[in-house]
Amino acid sequence: MTETAPVRDDAAREAHDLYGLTPDLLRAILEALDREDAIRLEALVVPLHAADIADLLEQIAGPQRGLVIEALRPDIDPDVLAHLDEPLLSDVRERLGMGEFSRLVGALDADDAVEVIGGLDDGLREEVLAAVPAADRRAVQEGLGFPDDSAGRLMRRDVVAAPMFWNVGQTIDHLRSATDLPDEFYAVFAVDPGHKPLGMIGLGAILRSGREVGLGTLVDGEPVTVRADTDQEEVSYLFQQYGPSEVAVVDGAGRLLGAIAFDDMVDVMSEESEEDVLRLGGVAGTDLHDTIARTTRKRFLWLLVNLATAVLASVVIGAFEGAIQQIVALAVLMPIVASMGGNAGTQAMTVAVRALATKDLTRANAARVIVKEIVVGLLNGLLLAVVMGVAAWLWFRDPALGGVIALAMVANLLVAGMSGALIPLALDRFKVDPAVAAGVVLTTVTDVVGFFAFLALGAALLL
């Protein structure tokens, strides 16, 4: 095995650079899997961070996954489960067996256990819950009582709170003697006697202050607070906007129920921004790891909607059959006008959809953004009209045809710019997610306007 030893050393060393699952380490793991070399596999995989092990399990094929799990089985890190998405989690559960799976879930922090159990079918929940230590079980059950993707599902309940009238010394003494502290926490919430959060104090401020300093003097404004039923998208926005280390979660009466720390949020933050990309691409609610059947079904529905709009565009073309028969050049050039409108509209739409998601596009600037997109569409339409007008003239040796495509281009890009801004704004106003629906509405508009403008002008001016 002399030829593989250097790879192993490099791979092991590289694992300490940047992130764990480097291309070289991955190559070494795949080689070990090919040779079913369990000892080497264990040596390569066990030192990895739970998040990297989860990534590995998600990337390899089913049988390979079995080998990795067997190599890990003696000391599998429960946190791996918290990093796995469905449908991989089910697959890993089946490979581990319910007993081992439940034991691992029981070893998770309560908030991670809520996340994992929340993804299970109802029939399995009870069995896994029974493996959760009694001390945590009630917290897990209450967490599961909140809606999917809500702050209540995400929060840790073992929040660190102290009465506002305590001083630093009392707080430190309490923390040293408390037995129910979370593994990681970043702030202490100062609460009133009704357990309502009055302020958040970063641990740095406590550590830097003398024992006699009152918590009240360390509080800097009200804490960022959400209700337990707040959607995680809002919570994610609050973290991005204000960068707090923790957000307080309260019940309807304003009492502190728990807290969400930034490290509970990082995957949610990437999940939420991910969602918009996938929606814009017409693949909402799907995942790289979905089965072929599920992927096909999800995508087919979207394609069917798009087919309807494509047929609508064809109906417009069909209205000009006579003109096309006389001037075939119209058929040759017409997709250019439609396609450039689609591209220009998509540019405007992408900016508008993202700006709506990040709350950068509001009633304060909506009118100006629409006007700007119309002007940009007009200017780019004029530029492209010159380029394409001359090209069509030279191609078909017909200056009038060049003029027709130039005019159609200006018209379609102007409409595209306007629609690219207007459609997302209108959808948002009517509470329809612009990322899902804007693209298909926009393409319908740019196709219909593009084909109609070009063919109608062609029929009017060239026949």
Q: Which is nearer to its own copies, 161 or 383 (CB)?
A: 383
Rounded CA gap, 27 and 418, in Å?
49
Q: How far from chain centre, in Å, is Cα 65?
A: 25
Nearer to its own copies, 329 or 445 (CB): 329
End-to-end CA distance of the chain: 78
Give the residue, chosen from 42, 58, 91, 428, that forms a contact with its own copies under the rule CB under 8 A: 58
Q: How far apart are CA 224 and CA 244, in angstroms?
A: 7
Cβ closest to its own copies, residue 76 vs residue 265: 265
In angstroms, what is the C-alpha Rg of the chain? 29
Is 368 exposed, middle or buried, given 0-12, 13-18 or 19+ CB atoms closer than 10 A? exposed
Q: To the nearest whole angstrom, how small is the minimum distance from the Cβ of residue 142 to its own copies?
A: 23
Q: Give the nearest distance from C-beta 124 to its own copies in angstroms.
A: 26
Q: 128 vs 352, which CB is nearer to its own copies?
A: 352
User: Distance (Å, rounded) from C-alpha 13 to C-alpha 24?
Assistant: 10
Site for its own copies in 137-166 (CB under 8 A): none
Q: Which helix (H) or strand (E) holds 339?
A: helix 328-357
| Strand bridging mode 187-191 / 161-163 | parallel
User: What is the C-alpha to C-alpha distance for residues 298 and 325, in angstroms, rounded to an integer?
Assistant: 39
Which of 118, 214, 254, 282: binder of its own copies (CB under 8 A)?
282
CB of 387 to its own copies, least distance (A): 7
- Minimum distance between the CB of residue 429 and its own copies, rounded to whole angstroms? 11
- Cβ 321 to its own copies shortest distance, Å: 5
Select 128 or 442, whichever has its Cβ closest to its own copies: 442
Q: Please state, in angstroms and rounded to a whole number, the distance separating the CA atoms of residues 406 and 385.
A: 4
Q: Which is nearer to its own copies, 131 or 249 (CB)?
A: 249
Task: Please list every residue from 382 through 441 that binds its own copies, using CB under 8 A.
Answer: 383-384, 387-388, 391
Q: Is 218 in the site for its own copies (CB under 8 A)?
A: no
Among 12, 302, 386, 398, binds its own copies (CB under 8 A): 302
Q: Using CA atoms, how far apart are residues 428 and 411, in angstroms rounded to an integer?
A: 26
Build a one-symbol-per-residue string for 27-56: x at contacts with its own copies by CB under 8 A, - elsewhere. Answer: x-xx------------------x-xx--xx
Residue number with CB closer to its own copies (128 or 405)? 405
Stretch in the footprint of its own copies (CB under 8 A) among 38-46, 98-106, 169-177, 190-198: 169-177
Contact flag: residue 176 with its own copies (CB under 8 A): yes
Site string for its own copies, 241-280 (x = CB under 8 A): xxxxx----------------xx--xx-xx--xx-xxx-x
Q: Is 131 or 436 the residue whose CB approaches its own copies more closely?
A: 436
Q: Which residue is it, tokens 């010394």?
A: 169
Peptide bond into 74 cis (omega under 30): no
Beta carbon nearer to its own copies, 131 or 447: 447
Rounded least distance, CB 127 to its own copies, Å: 29
Q: Encoding tokens for residue 131?
A: 């493996």
Q: What is the C-alpha to C-alpha distance for residues 267 and 272, in angstroms, rounded to an integer?
A: 9
Looking at residue 147, the DSSP 8-state letter turns out to be: P
Taking the least distance from each CB to its own copies, the nearer of 102 and 209 is 209
User: Which of 8, 11, 26, 32 touches its own copies by CB under 8 A?
Assistant: 26
* Partners of residue 227 on adjacent β-strands: 250
Helix, strand, or coil here: 382?
A: helix
Per the CB < 8 A criterion, the answer to whether 81 and 118 are in contact is: no
Phi, psi torsion values for 207, nearest 5 degrees: -65, -30
Taking CB under 8 A as the rule, does residue 463 contact its own copies?
no
**Residue 27 or residue 35: which is nearer to its own copies going by CB?**
27
Query: Smallest distance, Å, CB 93 to its own copies?
Result: 20
Contacts of its own copies in 181-210 (CB under 8 A): 181-186, 202-204, 206-210
Binding flag, residue 217, its own copies (CB under 8 A): no
What span, in angstroms and rounded, lies between the C-alpha atoms of 58 and 50?
12
Beta bridge partners of 187: 202
Residue 369 engages its own copies in binding (rule: CB under 8 A):
yes
Nearest to its own copies of 153, 354 (CB atom): 354
Q: Where on the phi/psi map is residue 18: left (φ > 0), alpha (ψ -120 to 50), or beta?
A: left
Q: Cα(286)–Cα(364) distance, rounded to whole angstroms? A: 34
Number of residues forming the site for its own copies (CB under 8 A) = 129
| Beta pairing, strands 246-250 & 256-261 | antiparallel
Binding to its own copies, residues 306-365 (CB under 8 A): 306-307, 310-311, 313-314, 317-318, 321, 324-325, 328-329, 331-336, 338-340, 343-344, 346-347, 349-351, 354-355, 358-365
361 close to 353: Cβ distance less than 8 angstroms: no
